[in-house]
Amino acid sequence: MVQNKMKTILISILLLGQAYAIDLQKYYQEPLTETDKKAIVAFNILQGIDMLQTLEIANNDAYYEKNKIMGKHPSEAQVVTYFIARGFAHYHTTKIIPLKYRKFWHTYNIVYNFDVIQGNHDIGIRIDF
């Protein structure tokens, strides 16, 4: 268990390091607008809820995860790592996408995340604090 967490942490550090080592600035089209920033915040809030639901799935054998990247019964470390990586990828992809296409990008991601959260809620997955 400790070995898996260490592997996950090391992989996360390597991925994060690579993200900063690659000069993404040359791919960025236009600067983020206020609408882009609000949409990124909305996306990350929905991602946070989805992550908490996925952690509930990871700790409950009555449910299984449909995301093939994580597998049916991911560990907590896998879940957190996946959502952190997804958040970074979403942010940088948003900056790369030309401004005229960003509203479609934001709409798709927000609607998709909301649908996933709603589907999880419909089958009984709740978030406890």
Q: How far apart are CA 125 and CA 120, in angstroms?
A: 5
- Quick one: pLDDT at residue 24? 62
For each of the chain's 129 residues, which pLDDT tens digit applies?
A: 555 666 776 776 676 666 565 666 666 778 999 999 999 999 999 999 999 999 999 988 888 898 888 888 899 999 999 999 999 999 999 998 999 999 999 999 999 999 999 999 999 988 876
- Quick one: pLDDT at residue 127? 80
> Could you tell me the CA-to-CA distances from 64 to 6, 31, 57, 119 in Å, in that order?
24, 39, 6, 13
Q: How far apart are CA 54 and CA 76, in angstroms?
A: 9
Whole-prediction pTM value? 0.77
Domain locations along the chain: 2-122
**Closest to 110 (Cα-Cα) out of 45, 60, 63:** 45
- Quick one: pLDDT at residue 3? 59
